[in-house]
């Protein structure tokens, strides 16, 4: 059944529940397609034979009451998976096999899903193109030599190329939404505190959130329902009443007030992005929503703020990779020599760069000027959203200022790479939920995404808006399977 991998998650679940397909058939189909797609370099670790064994086991005694019954799934290699190598895209963790499972992946397995393998990502999730991975860049299935976005580049590529029906990524500054936008899929960054960070290799603790990536909004809602949970093992996890996101999903958004922030009309934004945004506004109007112009005055300060806060936290979070307890160790004459060589050889250039930035902004004499300043501006950025949400229910923006770029195009210019996250970063700084949905194509036929930003804990609302828009947009991803020989 060659069209198995073309089915959405919802279709696969229905077919398994109706006993039209077995978990083994589904798993084998995705394994086969994944094996034929090695050129995409989406996987870091394949766990295919174990996946098929688990599928067989599931079929022996299938529990069809589960939300993801026997569904195979590959996940970003930032989630620790018990007894399966977890690298975070880094040489420094190249040999690391956790003895524990992240809460988010555990939630997924508890609902009957089966691990296919671990997906490539930027090293420690630091990147917007997947080019910083120790395991090499990932190809965007849209076109050869095109980046899949980052840091969840393996994840976006794998969903778009149908190597996995659905996946999870992590988003610190746009790492779910930007790659989703670049590959024509749906990606949700939940409210900070919605999904547990326990067992996820940390990049910037105050910004990191795990979230679902899927082919459509409904699948995305279902996976979010599975992964979002209150977790006592994460002190920043928030105990709030979680919706049954997929069951409560509705395309009725009549009367919803949608804000359009003028500051997102940035200089040099391509016309096709501008046009896409206008189209998006028309779609939500068509659905009966009300458009309201709003202002988020500190938008332009979000990226500089992010490039202080995130590296500062990262410089400290990554101090544990020192060659003592696990991971790569370089030989050294003494302890300090070992540390310096291990970290110099074990981390890639971008990670080292960010550790340096973070160390600098926290160092004595600079803390107030940089780190404290950034925390204050972060407050202003959050205040902007708080103000806006007195008037609107959600905010509509483009996901990215451009479509996917070529591999190597921005590698020598870190700032231009960072600018790619201009629309996504403010959402992380304010801890809000944001979803990117595919909304059209540029002249080259590359997908473009729109972002809907919600109030904290209001994932249901932005999923509903996305669901309503998705119907109107009727997006078709242009995938030619060029990489399959």
Partner 1 sequence: MSKDKPEYLINRKDNQYEVVIGLEVHAQVTSESKLFSTSSTKFGAEPNTQVSLVDAAFPGMLPVINEFCVKQAIKTGIGLKAKINKRSVFDRKNYFYADLPQGYQISQFKDPIVGEGKVILDMPDGQKEVGIERLHLEQDAGKSIHDLDPKNTFVDLNRSGVALMEIVSKPDLRSPDEVNAYVKKLRSIMRYLGTCDGNMQEGSLRADVNVSVRRKGTKDFGTRCEIKNVNSIKFMQMAIEYEANRQVDLIEDGQSIDQETRLFDIKKNETRSMRSKEDAHDYRYFPDPDLLPLEVSDDFIEKLKLEIPELPDEKKKRFIEKFKVSPYEATILVSDNETSNYFENVIKKSDVKLATNWIIGELFAALNEKNLEITESPISAGNLSKLINLIKDGTISGKMAKTVFEHMMEGDKDPKKIVEEKGLKQESDPKALEKLIDKVIDDNREKATEYKSGKVKLFGFFVGQVMKVSGGKANPQLVNEILKKKL
Partner 2 sequence: MSIDLKTIKHISKLSRISVDEKKAEKLAGDLNSIFEFIEKLNELKTDNVQPLTSVAETTLKLRDDEVKSKNLREQIIKNSPQENEDYFVVPKVIE
| 250 binding partner (options partner 1, partner 2, none; Cβ < 5 to 8 Å by kind) | none
Stretch that binds partner 1, among 69-77, 232-240, 248-256, 469-477 (CB under 8 A): 232-240
Q: Which residue has the tokens 């999870």?
A: 168
Q: What is the DSSP string of 311-337?
A: HHHHHHHGGG-SSSSSS-----SSHHH
| 200 binding partner (options partner 1, partner 2, none; Cβ < 5 to 8 Å by kind) | partner 1
As measured in angstroms, the least distance from the Cβ of 207 to partner 1 is: 8
Report how far residue 62's alpha carbon sits from residue 81's, in angstroms, rounded to the nearest whole number: 23
Q: Is 8 in the site for partner 1 (CB under 8 A)?
A: no
Q: Are 345 and 302 in contact (CB under 8 A)?
A: no
Q: Is 119 in the site for partner 1 (CB under 8 A)?
A: no
Which SS3 state, helix, strand or coil, does residue 292 take? strand
Q: Is 320 in the site for partner 2 (CB under 8 A)?
A: no
Q: Which residue has the tokens 């009727």?
A: 474
- Binds partner 1 (CB under 8 A): choice among 19, 233, 265, 391: 233
Q: Is 363 in the site for partner 1 (CB under 8 A)?
A: yes
Active site residue 76: yes
Q: Is 220 in the site for partner 1 (CB under 8 A)?
A: no
Q: Where are the beta strands (DSSP E) in 429-474?
A: 434-441, 447-454
DSSP label of 91: G
Q: Is 201 in the site for partner 1 (CB under 8 A)?
A: yes
Q: Assign residue 149 a region: left if phi > 0, alpha if psi is -120 to 50, beta otherwise? A: left
Within 13 Å of residue 257, how many CA atoms lie on the same side as its CB? 12
Q: Is 267 in the site for partner 2 (CB under 8 A)?
A: no
As measured in angstroms, the least distance from the Cβ of 148 to partner 2 is: 24
Q: Is 305 in the site for partner 2 (CB under 8 A)?
A: yes
Q: Is 355 in the site for partner 2 (CB under 8 A)?
A: yes
Stretch that binds partner 1, among 42-50, 132-140, 359-367, 418-426 (CB under 8 A): 359-367
Six token digits for residue 27: 């798993």
Q: Is 312 in the site for partner 1 (CB under 8 A)?
A: yes
Report how far residue 39's alpha carbon sits from residue 87's, in angstroms, rounded to the nearest whole number: 20
Q: Is 238 in the site for partner 2 (CB under 8 A)?
A: yes
Active site residue 54: no
Q: Is 313 in the site for partner 2 (CB under 8 A)?
A: no
Which SS3 state, helix, strand or coil, does residue 118 take? strand
Q: Which of 90, 151, 157, 196 is catalytic?
A: 151
Active site residue 175: yes
Q: Which of 34, 37, 175, 403 is catalytic?
A: 175
Torsion angle defined by CA atoms of residues 145, 150, 154 and 160, in that order, rounded to the nearest 10 degrees: -70
Q: Strand pairing partners for 213?
A: 167, 187
- Look at strands 394-398 and 434-441 and give their pairing: unpaired
- Binds partner 1 (CB under 8 A): choice among 86, 129, 133, 436: 86
Instruction: Name the residue nearer to partner 2 (CB basis): 67 or 82.
Output: 82
Q: Which of 76, 91, 218, 455 is catalytic?
A: 76
Q: Which residue has the tokens 């193109």?
A: 129
Six token digits for residue 280: 């998006």
| 88 binding partner (options partner 2, partner 1, none; Cβ < 5 to 8 Å by kind) | partner 1
Q: How far is CA 357 from CA 258, 313, 335, 367, in A?
A: 37, 10, 24, 12
Q: Are 40 and 77 in contact (CB under 8 A)?
A: no
Six token digits for residue 111: 């609902």
Q: How far is CA 147 from CA 156, 173, 233, 299, 373, in A?
A: 10, 17, 35, 26, 34
Report how far residue 385's alpha carbon sits from residue 389's, in angstroms, rounded to the nearest whole number: 6
- Binds partner 1 (CB under 8 A): choice among 77, 111, 322, 384: 322
Stretch that binds partner 2, among 67-75, 125-133, 266-274, 425-433 (CB under 8 A): 425-433
Which residues of this chain interact with partner 2, rule CB under 8 A? Answer: 95-97, 99, 192-193, 206, 232, 235-236, 238-239, 298, 300-301, 303-305, 307-308, 315, 319, 322-329, 332-341, 343-344, 347, 352-353, 355-357, 359-360, 363, 370, 372-380, 382, 414-415, 418, 429-431, 456
List residues with catalytic annotation.
Answer: 76, 151, 175
Which residues of this chain interact with partner 1, rule CB under 8 A? Answer: 79-80, 86, 88, 93, 96, 98-100, 102, 197-202, 204-206, 232-236, 312-313, 315-316, 318-320, 322, 324-326, 335-336, 339, 359, 362-364, 367, 371
């Amino acid at each position: 059944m060659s069209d198995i991998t073309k089915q959405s998650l919802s279709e696969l679940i229905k077919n398994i529940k109706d006993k039209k397909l077995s978990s083994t058939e589904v798993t084998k189909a995705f394994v086969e397609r994944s094996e034929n797609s090695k050129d995409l370099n989406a996987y870091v670790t394949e766990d295919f034979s174990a996946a098929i064994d688990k599928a067989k086991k599931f079929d022996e005694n299938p529990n069809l009451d589960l939300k993801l019954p026997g569904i195979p799934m590959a996940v970003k290699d930032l989630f620790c998976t018990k007894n399966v190598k977890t690298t975070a895209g880094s040489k420094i963790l190249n040999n690391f096999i956790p003895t524990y499972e992240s809460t988010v992946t555990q939630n997924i397995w508890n609902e009957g899903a089966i691990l296919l393998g671990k997906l490539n990502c930027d090293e420690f999730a630091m990147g917007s193109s997947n080019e910083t991975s120790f395991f090499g860049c990932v190809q965007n299935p849209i076109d050869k030599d095109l980046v899949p976005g980052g840091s969840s580049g393996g994840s976006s590529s794998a969903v778009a190329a149908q190597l996995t029906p659905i996946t999870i990524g992590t988003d610190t500054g746009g790492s779910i939404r930007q790659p989703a936008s670049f590959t024509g899929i749906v990606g949700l960054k939940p409210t900070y505190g919605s999904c547990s960070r326990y067992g996820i290799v940390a990049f910037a603790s105050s910004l990191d959130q795990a979230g679902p990536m899927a082919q459509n909004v409904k699948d995305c809602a279902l996976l979010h329902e599975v992964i979002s949970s209150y977790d006592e093992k994460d002190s920043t996890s928030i105990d709030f009443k979680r919706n049954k996101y997929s069951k409560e999903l509705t395309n009725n958004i009549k009367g919803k007030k949608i804000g359009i922030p003028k500051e997102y009309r940035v200089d040099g934004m391509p016309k096709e992005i501008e046009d896409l945004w206008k189209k998006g506004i028309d779609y939500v109007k068509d659905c009966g929503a009300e458009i309201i112009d709003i202002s988020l005055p500190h938008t332009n300060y979000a990226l500089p703020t992010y490039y202080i806060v995130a590296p500062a936290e990262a410089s400290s979070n990554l101090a544990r990779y020192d060659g003592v307890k696990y991971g790569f160790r370089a030989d050294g004459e003494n302890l300090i020599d070992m540390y310096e060589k291990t970290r110099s050889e074990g981390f890639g250039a971008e990670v080292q760069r960010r550790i340096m930035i973070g160390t600098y902004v926290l160092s004595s004499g600079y803390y107030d000027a940089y780190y404290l300043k950034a925390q204050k501006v972060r407050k202003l950025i959050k205040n902007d959203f708080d103000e806006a949400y007195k008037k609107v229910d959600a905010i509509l923006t483009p996901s990215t200022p451009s479509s996917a770029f070529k591999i190597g195009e921005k590698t020598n210019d870190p700032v231009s790479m960072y600018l790619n996250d201009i629309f996504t970063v403010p959402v992380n700084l304010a801890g809000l939920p944001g979803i990117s949905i595919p909304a059209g194509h540029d002249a080259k036929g590359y997908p473009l995404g729109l972002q809907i930003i919600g109030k904290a804990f209001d994932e249901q609302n932005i999923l509903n808006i996305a669901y309503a828009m998705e119907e109107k947009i009727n997006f078709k991803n242009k995938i030619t399977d060029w990489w399959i020989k």
